[in-house]
Amino acid sequence: MSAKADSAPVALRWQRIRMIPNPWLRFGLLAVALAYFAWSVGALDINWHRVANGIPRAANMLTRMFPPDFGRWSLLFKGVLESVQMAFAASFFGMLLAIPLGICGAVNLVPRPVYLVARTLIILSRTFHEIIIAIFFVKIFGFGPLAGVLTLVVASTSFISKMLAEDIENMPPGQLEAIRATGAGFPKLLLYCVSPQVLPRYLGVSIYRLDANIRHSTVVGIVGAGGIGQVLAATFSRYDYDFSLAILITIVSLVFAGEFFSNWVRGHLR
Amino acid sequence: MLTISNLEKVYPTGTKALSGVGFTVDTPQVVAIIGPSGAGKSTLIRCINRLVEPTRGLVKLHDTDILTLNRSELRRARRRMGMIFQEYNLVERLTVMENVLSGRLGYVSFWRAYRRKFPPEDVRAAFVMLERVGLAGYQDTRADALSGGQRQRVGIARALMQKPDLLLVDEPTASLDPKTAREIMRLLVELAHDRGTPALVNIHDVALAQTFADRIIGLRQGEIVFDDTADQVTEAVLTDIYGEEDWSTTIRREGNGADNGPETKPPDDKNGLIREAAAG
Amino acid sequence: MTAEQHAQKHPQVWRRFSPRDTLLRYIWYLGAVAVVVWSISMLDIPWFYFLDAHLQAYDLAYRMWPPDLEFLETLANPLLETIHIATLGTAATVVIAFPIAFLAARNTSPNAFTWFVGRFILVTSRSVNTVVWGLLFVAIFGPGPMAGIWAIAFRSIGFMGKLVAEAIEEIDVGVVEAIESTGASRLQVLWYGILPQVLPVIYGTTVYRWDINIRESTVLGFVGAGGIGILLYSSINQFQWQEVSLMLVAVFGVVLISEFVSAAVRQRIT
Ligand SMILES: Nc1ncnc2c1ncn2[C@@H]1O[C@H](COP(=O)(O)OP(=O)(O)OP(=O)(O)O)[C@@H](O)[C@H]1O
Ligand SMILES: [Mg+2]
């Protein structure tokens, strides 16, 4: 090796590899971010006096939360049961409705206009938060679990059908061609090619969605759509914090159980 | 049996894949289609069962004008044409038997297909077929557990279950080792001859084509530049199809392929069974 | 070969599923349907509501059209506030989730107890929905964006912490050992050995969570935690449907844009 190569500047300075190599850009972005934070905190309509009171309030709230009051367990149990039932019903109908919607949302199976309509429906219902949808159902169907179930049906359908459509689109095109080439029509194509290939994932996604529905069923109640959420919202407005904590603990355990169940079932699906 | 004339295909991208292709197959012969990559071989095969819609031209199988059929008529025409693919295209999560029986989908009702209750004669034909392609006992194996050669055997069985009037075969051996490739070609050609089914076979291996095919069609840039019996393929012909190259090692020399060619006389009872299955 | 042998070798009957499999499958179907029927029957759904649901929906759509464009002025600030809440909440999340992720990763947690504490925080954070956190923080800080920011942060900690902890558990130990072998302190190992490896994951999940948080912050107002939800809720309760439809369009646009931005940024990063 020549002396010249040895003294090359390469070895003289070690530089950390940066995400954004250009230092101007890097510090520029940092400055913009800081400016944004300053501006947005200033722009927000925050009642600092009220916020300052927050710490003693939180302490007060905590003391009132303990010990959690499980005394009204029958009310608690009824709410939880309702949430779980809402989740079951919604997952079932979501699974059913997602099949046609998912198929229509797969570009390799259906004509373009059908695909576009299906995808628009899926995107539309995915964009709006469950609670926005819930409030509309509450307006149409009144307070109670029906609005909650319908909300969760909409959310599950769009979720499962999006996954289903993507799985169908990811199928190797040759298999579809081969079955088409035997003279099978569309229904038989679904039966002998699409369904065996996507069924395991579809079931997995559906089970996952059941778990998600259990989680969501605990909140749609906040706008009056049934379930334990409705009970929870009421306790907060009555400052009934020890019962709130009991409900929260129950929700967390329920969510935990749901997740455990869903993982267990999905582990057993091949 | 099969008449093609003036067939033309222009893809939406503007690629002209076929122009003025025409030929007829009127005896149950094995026709190899050779040509360089991109010559339009796959396009030609796919235009015949309209997996690709031809731009214009005529495709006639027996008396059916394929290109004027509506959707349900096309389905009925497709079940008379068996197709075999380079990538086998089995439905991987189905068993071998389900894959083989899917060749009957054009013939059975949706409900029967759903319950996997195929007519007894179909089931028997499928078992016969599995034995013939050398997969007896594999009926309940899932397709994704098979080797490439085994998958192609299932692919052949599926196509033949349709009792086709025509076999469309797109590079059946391109993903297989040389020995398996020969076995598969031999099987294919024997079955085609046994049943009197004409077959169009896309193939890159010229020596294999010469060994097994009765007739060879050479395609270059979407046009037919050669159409004759296998022994007429000379170095000059290959130069015309593929371009300048030393072809002396590619062409099958007299005598070295005779023992590899299709068996002219397969064992009797097997053959009888196949005929029976084919007639049933 | 005799006809008998022939029939034995080539049977006419073939079953995909044994009778036992089939029976089991139908039992599963039946069980699922039974659970759903039980759930629905317990929910006391007033079916007659469905009789005129389509009329109600039509009526609603009729009242919503056309969107009240004059409302745009009133809308602008709350919409901006929604975005601020999501962004500031996500920023707070990064600061808080990062140390917790180190506690919750097996290979960086000081001991089993800290690991358990880390996991416990993450699980609790994820099990309680953003809106429920909203209820809690409104009770503490009073109504307004401050509650929203903390609601967003407290829900996101579990999400980000979990993903970052998983990334930490999967880092290349060789690099860490190399730096440890130079006699570096714990903090130095963290800074030079671990951080650079998980930084891309942190960036990625932050952007991803920000996009989810935009969607979540559109409904925080329903419980009084700031953003456009407050306005949406009051317009709905006052039956100002033309204002509602404008807000829905705005929410749709913002959510769609944020999804697009997040996808674009994530693509640049990875
Ligand atoms: N779906 C398609 N869209 C656009 N152009 C296509 C399409 N399929 C094929 N082509 C073009 O048509 C021409 C013929 O393609 P084709 O697949 O028929 O060739 P081939 O002879 O089968 O080639 P190979 O030997 O590589 O399989 C090529 O130029 C190809 O790029
Ligand atoms: Mg090809």
pLDDT at residue number A14 = 54
- Provide the β-strand partners of residue B31: B200, B215
B149 has pLDDT over 60: yes
DSSP string, B51-72: SS--SEEEEEETTEEGGG--HH
Q: Does C40 contact A85 at a Cβ distance shorter than 8 Å?
A: yes
pLDDT of B96-131, one tens digit each? Answer: 999 999 999 999 999 999 888 899 999 999 999 999
CA distance C231 to C75: 8
Residue nearest ligand 1's atom 6 by CA: B11
Which among A80, A38, A94, A39 is positioned nearest to A210, based on CA atoms? A94
DSSP string, chain C: --HHHHHHHS-S---SS-HHHHHHHHHHHHHHHHHHHHHHHHTT--GGGGGGHHHHHHHHHHHHPSP-GGGHHHHHHHHHHHHHHHHHHHHHHHHHHHHHHHHHSTTT-SSHHHHHHHHHHHHHHHHS-HHHHHHHHHHHH-SSHHHHHHHHHHHHHHHHHHHHHHHHHTS-HHHHHHHHTTT--HHHIIIIIIHHHHHHHHHHHHHHHHHHHHHHHTTGGGGT-SSHHHHHHHHHHTT-HHHHHHHHHHHHHHHHHHHHHHHHHHHHH-
Nearest atom (ligand 1) to Cα of B222:
14
Chain C, residues 16-75, CB within 8 A of chain A, namely: 32, 35-36, 38-40, 42-46, 49, 53, 56-57, 60
C26 to chain B, any CB pair closer than 8 A? The answer is no
Q: Does B91 contact A182 at a Cβ distance shorter than 8 Å?
A: no
pLDDT at residue number A1 = 41
Residue nearest ligand 1's atom 18 by CA: B40
B114 to chain A, any CB pair closer than 8 A? The answer is yes
A184 to chain B, any CB pair closer than 8 A? The answer is yes
* Domain ranges for chain B: 2-80+165-278, 91-163
CA distance A22 to A108: 43
What residues contact B83, with CB distance under 8 A and at least 6 apart? A178, A181, A182, B45, B49, B51, B159, B167, B168, B169, B170
Residue nearest ligand 1's atom 16 by CA: B40
CB C156 within 8 A of CB C209: yes
CA distance A95 to A85: 15
Inter-chain contacts counted by CB atoms under 8 A, chains A and B: 80
The beta strand positions in A5-80, using DSSP E, are none
DSSP string, C123-152: HHHHHS-HHHHHHHHHHHH-SSHHHHHHHH
DSSP B174: T
| Beta strand pairing call for B199-202 and B30-34 | parallel
Of A187, A192, A199, the CB nearest to B102: A192
C5 to chain B, any CB pair closer than 8 A? The answer is no
CA distance B164 to C190: 69
Of A178, A184, A200, the CB nearest to B85: A178
C203 has pLDDT over 90: no
Specify the pTM. 0.84
pLDDT at residue number C226 = 84
Inter-chain contacts counted by CB atoms under 8 A, chains A and C: 158
Residues in B touching C26 (Cβ below 8 Å): none
CA distance B271 to C8: 18
Cα A237 from chain centre: 27
Name the residue of chain B whose CA is nearest to C3's CA. B273
Mutation to test the C interface, candidates A140, A217, A251, A270, most C Cβ within 10 Å? A140
What residues contact B255, with CB distance under 8 A and at least 6 apart? none
Rg (CA), chain B: 19
Cα distances (Å, whole numbers) of residue B212 to A39, B25, B45, B200, B256? 79, 17, 19, 12, 13
CA distance A37 to A269: 47
CA distance C49 to C45: 9
B237 has pLDDT over 70: yes
Of A174, A192, A196, the CB nearest to B89: A174
Residue B46 main-chain phi, psi, to 5 deg: -75, -25
Q: Which domains does chain A carry?
A: 74-269 (1.10.3720.10)
Report, as an integer, the average pLDDT of B78-88.
91
Rg (CA), chain C: 27
Amino acid type, B221:
Q
DSSP A150: H
Name the residue of chain C whose CA is nearest to A61's CA. C140
Tracing tokens 């909650």 back to the chain, one arrives at A148
DSSP B165: S
pLDDT at residue number C61 = 85
CB B81 within 8 A of CB B74: no
For residues A189-221, one letter each, b for 16 or more C-beta atoms within 10 angstroms of the residue's C-beta and e for the rest, the string is: bbbbbbbbbbeebbebbbbbbbbbbbbbbbbbb
pLDDT at residue number A138 = 86
Among B8, B11, B19, B55, name the best residue to mutate to test ligand 1's pocket (greatest count of ligand atoms within 8 A of Cβ). Answer: B11
A71 to chain B, any CB pair closer than 8 A? The answer is no
The helix/strand/coil state of B16 is: strand
| Chains interfacing with C (3 or more CB pairs < 8 Å) | A, B
Chain C, residues 144-203, CB within 8 A of chain A, namely: 144-146, 196, 199-200, 203
Nearest atom (ligand 1) to Cα of B171:
27
Smallest CA–CA distance, residue C158 to chain A, in Å, is: 13
Range of the domain at C203: 78-268
What is the percent of chain C where pLDDT is above 70?
Answer: 96
CA distance A164 to A158: 10
| Beta strand pairing call for B215-220 and B223-229 | antiparallel
> Please, which pLDDT band fits residue C210 given cuts at 50, 70 and 90?
very high
Q: What is the dihedral of CA A155, A160, A163, A165, to 10 degrees?
A: -110
Of A175, A187, A200, the CB nearest to B91: A175
Q: Which CATH number fits domain B2-80+165-278: 2.40.10.120, 1.20.120.420, 3.40.50.300, 3.20.10.10?
A: 3.40.50.300
Residues in B touching C25 (Cβ below 8 Å): none
The helix/strand/coil state of A219 is: coil
Domain containing C241 — which CATH number? 1.10.3720.10
Task: Tell me if C234 is assigned to some domain.
Answer: yes
Name the residue of chain C whose CA is nearest to B120's CA. C12
pLDDT of B51-60, one tens digit each? Answer: 999 999 999 9
Mutation to test the A interface, candidates C21, C39, C236, most A Cβ within 10 Å? C39
pLDDT at residue number B8 = 94
Task: Tell me if C66 is assigned to some domain.
Answer: no
B78 to chain A, any CB pair closer than 8 A? The answer is yes
CA distance A53 to A61: 12
Residues in B touching A193 (Cβ below 8 Å): 91
Domain tally, chain C:
1
pLDDT at residue number A57 = 79
The helix/strand/coil state of B166 is: strand
Of B123, B124, B269, the CB nearest to C1: B269
CA distance B261 to B186: 7
CB B224 within 8 A of CB B234: no
pLDDT of C77-130, one tens digit each? Answer: 889 899 999 999 999 999 999 889 988 888 888 888 999 999 889 988 888 889
Mutation to test the A interface, candidates C191, C195, C219, most A Cβ within 10 Å? C219
The arrangement of strands across the sheet holding B223-229 comes to B81-84, B166-170, B199-202, B30-34, B215-220, B223-229
Largest CA distance in chain C: 91
Tracing tokens 């009421």 back to the chain, one arrives at A234
DSSP B249: T
User: Cα(first)–Cα(last) distance of chain B, in Å?
Assistant: 21
Task: Give the residues surrounding ligand 1 with Cβ less than 6 Å away.
Answer: B 11, 13, 15, 17, 35, 37-43
The helix/strand/coil state of B265 is: coil
Residue B217 CA, ligand 1 centroid: distance in Å:
17
Residues in A touching C85 (Cβ below 8 Å): 44
pLDDT of C152-168, one tens digit each? Answer: 999 999 999 999 998 88
pLDDT at residue number A17 = 60
pLDDT at residue number A10 = 45
Classify the phi-psi angles of B222: left when phi > 0, otherwise alpha if psi is within -120 to 50, otherwise beta: left
Q: Does C9 contact B118 at a Cβ distance shorter than 8 Å?
A: no
> Please, which pLDDT band fits residue B77 given cuts at 50, 70 and 90?
very high
Smallest CA–CA distance, residue A249 to chain B, in Å, is: 43
Residue nearest ligand 1's atom 14 by CA: B40
Among B10, B19, B41, name the best residue to mutate to test ligand 1's pocket (greatest count of ligand atoms within 8 A of Cβ). Answer: B41
Smallest CA–CA distance, residue B39 to chain C, in Å, is: 38
pLDDT at residue number C88 = 92
pLDDT of B155-194, one tens digit each? Answer: 999 999 999 999 999 988 888 888 888 888 998 899 899 8
* pLDDT by 10s per residue, chain A, length 270: 444 444 444 444 555 666 666 778 878 888 888 888 888 887 777 777 777 787 787 878 788 878 888 878 888 888 889 889 999 999 999 999 999 999 999 999 999 999 999 999 999 888 888 888 998 888 888 888 888 899 999 999 999 999 999 999 999 999 999 999 999 889 999 999 999 999 989 998 998 898 889 888 888 888 888 888 888 888 888 888 888 888 888 888 888 888 888 888 878 775
Two tokens, residue B74: 């096309």
CB B138 within 8 A of CB B96: yes
Q: Does B89 contact A172 at a Cβ distance shorter than 8 Å?
A: yes
Residue B5 main-chain phi, psi, to 5 deg: -145, 145
Two tokens, residue C108: 């960086």
